[in-house]
Amino acid sequence: MRSVWIPRTGPPEVLEIREGPYPEPAPGEVLVRVRASGVNFADVMARLGLYPDAPRRPCVVGYEVAGTVERVGTGVDGQLTTGRRVIALTRFGGYAEAVSVPALQVFPLPEKMSFTEGAAIPVNYLTAVLMLRHFGNVHAGDRVLVHAAAGGVGMAAIQLCRIAGAEVIGTASAAKHALLREAGVAHAIDYRTEDFEAAVRRLTGGRGVDIVLDATGAFRKSYRCLAPLGRLVCFGLSGAATGMKASYLRTLPRLLALPWFHPIRLMNDNKAVIGVNLGHLWERIDLLRREMLDLLVDYEAGRIRPVVGKTFPLTQAAAAHRYIQERQNVGKVVLTVG
């Protein structure tokens, strides 16, 4: 069995393809033969040594896969039979031809959903659901600022906002604005040439937005974009990983410059600052299962549709990492197997 390993920190080219034995499913687990594996910015951060939740190196990352059931361990529900098409939340280990996963993290793949679409749903859409529905309490008429709107989470958030009847303002490079408008974004801001804070003030008549989703680390300016009763949801720090030589020492000044929000200031401003990390919610698998099943219903009803911008063979994982790190991606990047 082939898998992609991170042997040490460094540029995309440090990734290695290694051969190894197929894993055996433990009791309560399902062995999935992988056909597609989602690539996330957290994987890039892990390779750079900037993701503390990653396993000790050498390690195999990859949070989500789609494929077929190869074997099941004892005690697994009879619905997950051999050959069944499935989606799985793997936490780690997804960059491989096969992975063994707890059965509670495995879901039937809808009949009309492709493997690449299946691998594009779990991380992006669950993150967007947590931010918008659980924490953001998004409603019709809300204005939502989505940073990195053309990325995987951004495109998922746009679709969930559309379902809720909220208006989206999205930041992205100018080349991606046409796609954002096609996806339903009301106003697109080129973060490279325009001050997004000033643009938000102009677009909202000085009021600000109700929700900001920020994975870039521009938290101070994003906070100032909020209207009273607004919610800033922080879910990443992609701005810290600039350039192929990003490292902890290079990133430290950015980390030290991050703002601290004093409780008294939050009270006086009538605003909230919220953090979301899907990887720290494994103990709430009941919640994740419920939301994942609801998302699959949304897919079958035509309310959501994953945007898979580009696929790479598993053996070209390094190229996929470079593509994401250079901010070229629109929607989800997926590794294909077989």
Q: What is the pLDDT of residues 66-113, one digit of tens each?
A: 999 999 999 998 889 999 999 999 989 999 999 999 999 999 999 999
Strands 64-72 and 85-89: antiparallel
pLDDT of residue 292: 98
Does position 256 have pLDDT exceeding 80, yes or no?
no
Least confidently predicted of 8-12, 62-66, 75-79 = 75-79
Bond from prior residue into 102 cis (ω within 30 degrees of 0): no
Q: What is the DSSP string of 186-236?
A: SEEEETTTS-HHHHHHHHTTT--EEEEEESSS-HHHHHHTEEEEEEEEE--
Is-contact 108 133, C-beta < 8 A? Answer: no
Cβ-defined contacts of 127-130 (< 8 Å, 24+): 127/153, 127/156, 127/235, 127/276, 127/278, 128/153, 128/156, 128/157, 128/159, 128/160, 128/213, 129/160, 129/291, 129/294, 129/295, 130/276, 130/278, 130/281, 130/291
Is-contact 145 225, C-beta < 8 A? Answer: yes
Spans of all domains in the chain: 2-120+306-336, 124-278
Mean pLDDT of the chain: 95
Does position 338 have pLDDT exceeding 90, yes or no?
no
Q: What is the pLDDT of residues 128-173, one digit of tens each?
A: 999 999 999 999 999 999 999 999 999 999 999 999 999 999 999 9
Residue the block writes with tokens 């973060």 = 191
CATH of domain 124-278: 3.40.50.720
Is-contact 273 261, C-beta < 8 A? Answer: yes
User: Has this prediction a pTM greater than 0.85?
Assistant: yes
Query: What band does 231 get if pLDDT is binned at 50, 70 and 90?
Result: very high
Does position 115 have pLDDT exceeding 90, yes or no?
yes
Rounded-to-integer distance, Cα 10 and Cα 220, Å = 30
Residue the block writes with tokens 């499913």 = 25
Q: Give the CATH class of 2-120+306-336.
A: alpha beta
